[in-house]
Structures are given as structure tokens and as C-alpha cells.
Chain A
């Protein structure tokens, strides 16, 4: 369905696996949210976090992640919070200089404005929140299922598949496939209506010989050929290729790159005067080009 070049597609493929958070990030942000939402005070959050680490260490055989431990201490009965907060987005503007863990003062200020009072219980002991503890059980069960059912190591799979992970494993047999796997499944499977839309779209954008993308990739390929010739010492061939491309892609996207390659080719052929003239013009036209430094390093350096 994608109309991207192979190169672009492989970049996006790589990108899909990139930027996974670490467990520390997960816990750090959760602590910050709890503090800012007034669920716990910052000291309480810190205490619970360390308690959870200890618990996680002791119970590692049971593959209880420290996250599950943290949850046990700080479970949120957020159906209540939901009803209390009609959620005003403007409370949460970016705080340019604020760190993930706000200072007690700022969080107290935040809480006083907006937190549901029922959750702000600074005096409460960390583990004491009986009415809120119910949701933890299924969560721990899910972690256990995760650890035992799929990958025993646990750590990697949480990261690798954070999205579907928590959704799918607990209901592998009962859930309709589309429900459980929707987030990571192909869009077409998850959204059947996309099939027809995708079809109509490709009709609109059916590749034409003169499509901009096609011209660009032809131009990029041609330039790559010339650059290869240059690297392999076939300098006159490189130059004649470049000169041919100058007319073929007169209004192309890679003019700067082509001019730079031409300067290098002229230098390699000992045509220093021509190279220098081109270099002067290049540096005047595009003084900030990333290629300028390389041009200054050639024989054509003015």
C-alpha cells in the first residue's frame, strides 16, 4: 500500500522498532504523573518506588517486574479520578524548564489547583489503599502470564511489544483476533474499510511515467552512478555522466549535489581552473550547504 521507495520503506521499518522506552522511563514518568495528579506526594512516590525495587529484587523468581511492584503500592482507582476530572487540557501546558519529577512545591501547587481531593492523602501510608487495590490483581496476573506464556525473560518482550503485549496475552483464545491484535496488525486487517479506500487512493496516484517521485529516483540513481564512477577513478566517465544529467535533470532536486560532484570530477581530471570557477559560484550560491566544506577541501578551494 505504501508508495514509498524501497529505501524509504526500509527506514520506516527500522523506525518502527526504534525509540522504545526503558523500564526506568516507564517508572519515572508514572511517578511524575502520580505526583502531579495528586494521587501521592512526591516523597510517597519516591518511597514506593524504592519499595517496589526491593520487592522486585526479592521476587525476581516469580518474574514480578518492578513495575508490577510499583503498581501494588500505588494503584489508582481511576474510575473515581475520571469522574472528578472533566479533564481540562489547558492545565497541562509544556513546562519548558520543568523536569520529569516536579519539585514538591510545584506539584503541591499543581495538585491544589486540579487534583481530585479524594486522592490527595499525604498522611496515608504507601501501601494502604485497600479500596484501590483491586485492579492490581489482574495486572499482576497479566505480568505473570506474560512472563510464563511468551518469553521467560520478560524484560525484552515488554519493550519490544509494549502496545499489543499488555492487551493481547491475557485473552489469546477468547478475544476475536481483530480486537486483540489490532494495534500491531496491518492497518488493512484492523480496519477493513481501509481496503476500499486504499484501492481508490492508488487509483488516484497510480504511478505515471512523469510522477515526481519517479523522476527523483531516476535522478538519484543517475547521480549515484556518476559518484561511483568517480570513486572508482573513472573520472572522464563520471564527468560526462554528470554533464549529461545537467541537461536531463535541469530542474531536478539534486542540483547542488551534482555541482559538487562535478567539481570533484574536474579536479580529478586536473582541470583546476574550471573546477575553481565552479567552486566559487557554488560557495557564493550556497555558502551554508553541507557540501561547502568538502568543496573547500578539493583542488578547487578558492
Chain B
């Protein structure tokens, strides 16, 4: 299965599937890449850099995307690796760099003029709870719960046995629930 975009479809002679062009991938998946880097724990100040790195790789490896691949999975594999590198680099950096560009990157007025305050609060809490998870658990949880990917698909893109993914997912959900319960209990503390 290949996800055909407007461009690749227009370029393709009838019945022939071709890999989408860079620009088609960029337009179709930029938001996905941006969101996912953020959710995987790349600091707000670094999301733009990380997105750029992802698309540089996409640009170079476009030839590796064969028809028959699901473009999103292929892209996600790149996003996950870039996010890992960033998280590791972040561990060596002072925490106060986390949001150095955040006002620019995540100005609530610009990203969510019509969004409710509660929604923003929920997203902030979600990030905070995801931050408590181990890297591998966080990846699986984000993929399943936010990107709504299937376990077999995740297993394929992470090159890990599906049973391992199920195990991680269960552990991730349990850890997340614990972190949530703790956070709620603290909030309610009179």
C-alpha cells in the first residue's frame, strides 16, 4: 500500500504507482513530523531543528521509499531516530534551554487562537506525564494513543517483535496511569 498524494498521483501514468516527491511528502507530513517530534520529547526550543533534520534525511533517502511502503511508517522511522538523538543530546544540556525558543515556537495565540484553555492545559499535562516514561515506552505509547498506529505497524518500523511492543505498551500504559494518578492526587491536595 502506498499513500498517493495529489502530486504523485498526477505524475503517475494510470495504474502505475510511484513514490511521492519530496515536496508532496513535505506538504502532507510536515504537521505529523512536527507534532510527533514534540510528543516524543524533543524540547520545544529544538523542534524546528529536529524537523529540519528529519526532512534532510527524507530528501536524501527518497529513493529508498519504494512503492509498497507506507510513507508514514517510513517517515516515522526517521522521526523516531532523530528524536532519540535529540533526547540524548538534551540530557547533557541544562534544563533552562528547554524552552528558550518556546514562546516563538509555541505561542498559544498563534497555534490555538480558537482553542480552549483547558485543551492547552491538557496537552501540557500530557507532555509532563510522557516525560516521566522511559524512551521505548514513550515511543510506543505515543504511536498507539496519539498517532493511532497499529502494533504490527509499530513493530515493523522499530524492527522489534510485535510481542515486545505489546509488552511495552502494557507497561507504558501502567506507568502513565501511575503518573497521572499521582499528578491528580497532588492537584487535589487541599
Residue ranges of A at the interface with B (Cβ–Cβ < 8 Å) = 2-5, 7-8, 10-12, 14-22, 24-26, 28-30, 32-33, 36-37, 67, 71, 75-79, 81-83, 85-89, 91-96, 98-100, 114, 134-139, 141-142, 145, 156, 158-159, 162-163, 165-167, 169-171, 175, 179, 182-184, 186-188, 190-191, 193-194, 197-198, 201, 204-205, 212-213, 216-217, 219-220, 223-224, 227-228, 230-231, 253-254, 257, 260-261, 264, 290-291, 294
B79 at the interface (CB under 8 A from A): no
Are the CB atoms of B189 and A257 closer together than 8 Å? Answer: yes
Q: List 27 A-B contacts (CB under 8 A).
A: A3-B173, A14-B123, A15-B145, A29-B48, A71-B27, A78-B59, A82-B62, A83-B63, A89-B78, A89-B81, A93-B85, A141-B6, A162-B28, A166-B28, A170-B9, A183-B32, A184-B148, A186-B148, A190-B150, A193-B152, A198-B151, A216-B181, A220-B184, A224-B184, A253-B181, A261-B189, A291-B189
Q: Which of B59-73 contact A (CB under 8 A)?
A: 59-64, 70, 72
Contacting pair B89 A96 (CB below 8 A) = yes
How far, in whole Å, are A76 and B22 apart by their CA atoms in the complex?
7
Give B91-118 as 1s and 0s: 1 = Cβ < 8 Å from A's Cβ atoms: 0010000000000011000111011001
Q: Is B133 an interface residue (CB 8 A)?
A: no
Is the interface on chain B under 10, 10 to 19, 20 to 34, or 35 or more residues?
Answer: 35 or more
Most buried by B among A7, A15, A182, A198: A15
Tally of contacts, chain A with chain B, CB under 8 A: 304
Residues 4-36 of B at the A interface (beta carbon under 8 Å): 4-7, 9-11, 19, 21-24, 26-32, 34-35
Complexed CA–CA distance, A143 and B16 (Å): 24
Q: Which residues of B contact A (CB under 8 A)?
A: 1, 3-7, 9-11, 19, 21-24, 26-32, 34-35, 38-39, 46, 48-53, 55-57, 59-64, 70, 72, 78, 81-82, 85-86, 89, 93, 105-106, 110-112, 114-115, 118-120, 122-123, 125-126, 129, 144-146, 148-153, 162, 166, 170, 173-174, 176-178, 180-182, 184-186, 188-190
Asked whether A30 lies within 8 Å of B26 as measured between CB atoms, the reply is: yes
Partner of A33 from the list B29, B59, B93, B153 (CB cut-off 8 Å) is B59
CB distance from B63 to the nearest CB of A (A): 4
* Contacting residues, chain A, for B29 (C-beta < 8 A): 162-163
* Set of chain A residues within 8 Å of B27, measured between Cβ atoms: 67, 71, 139, 166
User: Which of B31, B85, B105, B106 makes the CB contact (< 8 A) with A162?
Assistant: B31
Residues of B within 8 A of A231 (CB): 190
In the assembled complex, the Cα of A139 lies from the Cα of B30 at a distance in Å of 15
Contacts of B170 in A (CB 8 A): 3, 205
Closest B residue by C-beta to A174: B9
Q: Given A163-B29, A166-B28 in contact, is the A94-B59 Cβ separation under 8 Å?
A: no
From B5, B19, B78, B114, residue with most partner A Cβ within 10 Å = B5
Among the listed B6, B26, B82, which residue makes an inter-chain contact with A92, where contact means beta carbons less than 8 Å apart? B82
User: Which of B46, B89, B93, B126 is the one whose CB lies under 8 Å from A15?
Assistant: B126
In the assembled complex, the Cα of A265 lies from the Cα of B56 at a distance in Å of: 58
Q: State in angstroms the CA–CA spacing of A159 and B110 once bound together.
A: 11
B177→A95 contact, CB < 8 A: no
Most buried by A among B53, B151, B173: B53
A186-B148, A201-B166, A213-B173 given; A96·B3 CB < 8 A: no
State whether A294 and B189 are in contact (beta carbons under 8 Å apart), knowing that A87-B57, A87-B63, A100-B48 are contacts in the complex. Answer: yes
- State the Cβ distance, A235 to closest chain B Cβ, in Å: 10
* Given contact pairs A81-B22, A100-B52, A162 touches B30 in the complex (Cβ within 8 A): yes
